[in-house]
């Protein structure tokens, strides 16, 4: 008799789809140059500070680089902590995030994970502190350790 490790990812995905909820990942878009300040070869571009030399530009308000965020709805397992739990580590006491958001490892591409600006869960805005790949024997999900904006 051959004993094989069960294929658990479809099971975990099915459970997550049943008990999960739709959360919104806000992905920061690629920057594009302001077409007013960037006209004729970047005339109003400050290359040292990477901003526009025209702070009154009506298109970019002096930012020069403009980004368009993308909202991506993903089914996630969400777990709120009832209170902050201190974690006694080498650097002293640190606090873990107050929300765990777990999604399918294929739901968001690796290149977009580093561009996550915020996660919207239960009408609250969260900031991602860590992205932890989980699953045995193969990584099948990602857990984001999040904290509400302004509460870090």
Query: Which stretches of the chain bind Zn ion, using CB under 5 A?
Result: 34, 36-37, 52, 57, 59-60
Judged by beta carbon, residue 60 or residue 116, the one nearer Zn ion is: 60
- In terms of Cβ atoms closer than 10 Å to its own Cβ (0-12, 13-18, 19+), residue 79 is exposed
Instruction: Please tell me whether residue 113 adopts helix, strand or coil conformation.
Output: helix
Cα separation, 20 vs 39, whole angstroms: 47
Place of tokens 């902050």: 84
Judged by beta carbon, residue 36 or residue 75, the one nearer Zn ion is: 36
Judged by beta carbon, residue 33 or residue 74, the one nearer Zn ion is: 33
Minimum distance between the CB of residue 62 and Zn ion, rounded to whole angstroms? 7
HSE, side-chain direction, 13 A CA sphere, residue 110: 2
Judged by beta carbon, residue 32 or residue 138, the one nearer Zn ion is: 32
Judged by beta carbon, residue 34 or residue 128, the one nearer Zn ion is: 34
Minimum distance between the CB of residue 56 and Zn ion, rounded to whole angstroms? 9
Minimum distance between the CB of residue 39 and Zn ion, rounded to whole angstroms? 9
Cα separation, 7 vs 143, whole angstroms: 20
Minimum distance between the CB of residue 70 and Zn ion, rounded to whole angstroms? 22
Minimum distance between the CB of residue 51 and Zn ion, rounded to whole angstroms? 9
Beta pairing, strands 21-27 & 116-121: antiparallel
Place of tokens 């869960």: 121
Torsion angle, CA of 17/23/28/29, rounded to 10 degrees? 60
């Amino acid at each position: 008799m051959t004993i094989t490790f069960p294929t658990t990812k479809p099971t975990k995905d099915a459970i997550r789809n049943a008990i999960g909820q739709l959360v919104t990942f806000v992905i920061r878009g690629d920057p594009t140059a302001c077409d007013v300040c960037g006209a004729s070869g970047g005339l109003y571009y400050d290359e040292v500070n990477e901003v526009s030399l025209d702070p009154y530009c009506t298109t970019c308000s002096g930012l020069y680089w403009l980004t368009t965020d993308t909202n991506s709805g993903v089914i996630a397992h969400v777990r709120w902590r009832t209170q902050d739990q201190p974690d006694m580590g080498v650097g002293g006491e640190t606090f873990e995030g107050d929300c765990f958001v777990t999604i399918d490892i294929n739901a968001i591409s690796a290149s977009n994970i580093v561009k996550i600006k915020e996660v919207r869960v239960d009408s609250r805005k969260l900031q991602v502190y860590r992205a932890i790949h989980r699953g045995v024997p193969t990584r099948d999900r990602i857990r984001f350790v999040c904290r509400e904006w302004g509460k870090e």
